[in-house]
């Protein structure tokens, strides 16, 4: 709708064109032109934002490297991570689920780890090759599609490696003594360290990924603990959920109760409701009009003992007096109340 109002050369449209990565289109057979979807355009902007980093390997430059890396090895099963819910479960349930999942967790061998890390880094290597081949020029549609395809491949392997090693974060977190309220933040720091380890791990050195990742996760936990101590030293008070609750409704109810009590007191003291002496005493004792603020009101039986009548008789007198007060209050609507009556509450 905005484009239709301002036209195709509006300032808004020019901003969109600047944000959208340029792609040189090439005409194909039959006169058709290739184009990228909005999702591909957004992904291309992400890819072109900075050079792709990768861990190099001599395997990447051998003849038939792509086939040897992706087709020859047997496919590696993706893990089931439905058990991993550290931010939604309490500590005891989480540890119980971890114990239950150990039997079904996926543990890769050293050979499988080498295969999947080669696949991950080769995809990043191909993205970097296309980036360097551009040399500052605008990519063609074919180059953009190829770059996006390899980028998605690399992202898929990155997620698979991270999901396979999620249990490392929980195993390392159990070594750190923190409060239960800080445990989700600790897990978040460990997950970020795990992702960084996936990007920086070099499988060509012959070590297991868990050896490298556990050290990085423990370092992240150490940094998190230092930041937490400094934060608590600067802000010693703990978070209190009661401070976050709004008392607006309670304030409105209390103000309404005070206004209503002021109106009733005004009617009784000014004799606008034409109450008898007995009715006035019942209302004053029953609702605490003559008692200090915050004092409990008397029961029907207590009021009856004071004036020498039964509890049922006090109820009848109270109802009759309340009906008189209701009628007087309806007549009072629209009339300003005296200032001293309001402040008496």
pLDDT digits (tens, 9 = 90+) for 28-78: 444 334 578 888 898 999 999 999 999 999 999 999 999 999 998 888 888
* pLDDT value for 276: 83
Q: What percent of the chain has pLDDT over 90?
A: 30
Q: How far apart are the first and last CA of the chain?
A: 59
pLDDT band at 208, cuts 50/70/90? very high
| CB of 153 closer than 8 Å to CB of 123 | yes
Least confident of 99-108, 140-149, 197-206: 99-108
Evaluate if residue 337 carries a pLDDT over 60.
no
Closest CA to 190 of 169, 205, 164, 176: 169
φ/ψ of residue 75, rounded to 5: -65, 145
* pLDDT value for 96: 46
**Mind listing the domains of the chain with CATH numbers?**
34-234 (1.20.120), 248-343 (1.10.10.10)
pLDDT band at 201, cuts 50/70/90? very high
| Cα separation values, 33 from 16, 23, 29, 75, Å | 21, 12, 9, 36
| CB of 321 closer than 8 Å to CB of 292 | no
Evaluate if residue 121 carries a pLDDT over 80.
yes
């Amino acid at each position: 709708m905005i484009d239709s109002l301002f036209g195709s050369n509006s300032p808004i449209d020019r901003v969109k064109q600047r944000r959208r990565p340029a792609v040189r289109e090439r005409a194909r057979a039959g006169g058709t032109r290739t184009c990228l979807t909005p999702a591909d355009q957004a992904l291309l902007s992400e890819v072109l934002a900075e050079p792709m980093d990768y861990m190099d390997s001599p395997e990447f430059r051998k003849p038939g490297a792509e086939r040897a890396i992706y087709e020859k090895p047997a496919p590696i099963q993706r893990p089931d991570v439905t058990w991993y819910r550290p931010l939604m479960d309490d500590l005891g349930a989480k540890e119980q689920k971890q114990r239950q999942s150990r039997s079904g967790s996926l543990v890769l061998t050293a050979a499988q780890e080498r295969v999947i890390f080669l696949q991950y880094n080769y995809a990043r290597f191909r993205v970097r090759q296309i980036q360097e081949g551009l040399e500052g020029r605008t990519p063609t549609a074919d180059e953009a599609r190829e770059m996006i395809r390899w980028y998605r491949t690399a992202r898929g392997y990155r997620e698979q490696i991270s999901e396979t090693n999620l249990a490392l974060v929980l195993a390392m977190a159990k070594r750190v003594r923190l409060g239960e309220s800080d445990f989700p933040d600790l897990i978040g720091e460990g997950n970020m360290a795990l992702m960084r380890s996936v990007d920086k791990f070099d499988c060509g050195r012959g070590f297991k990924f868990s050896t490298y990742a556990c050290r990085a996760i423990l370092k992240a936990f150490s940094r998190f603990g230092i930041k937490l101590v400094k934060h608590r030293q600067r802000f010693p008070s703990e978070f209190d959920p009661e401070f976050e609750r709004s008392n607006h409704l309670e304030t409105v109810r209390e103000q309404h109760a005070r206004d209503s009590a002021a109106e009733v007191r005004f009617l009784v003291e000014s004799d606008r409701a034409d109450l008898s002496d007995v009715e006035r005493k019942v209302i004053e004792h029953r609702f605490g009009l003559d008692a200090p603020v915050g004092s409990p009101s008397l029961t029907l039986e207590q009021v009856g003992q004071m004036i020498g009548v039964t509890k049922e008789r006090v109820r009848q007198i109270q109802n009759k007096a309340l009906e008189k007060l209701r009628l007087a209050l309806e007549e009072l609507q629209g009339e300003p109340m005296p200032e001293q009556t309001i402040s008496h509450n």
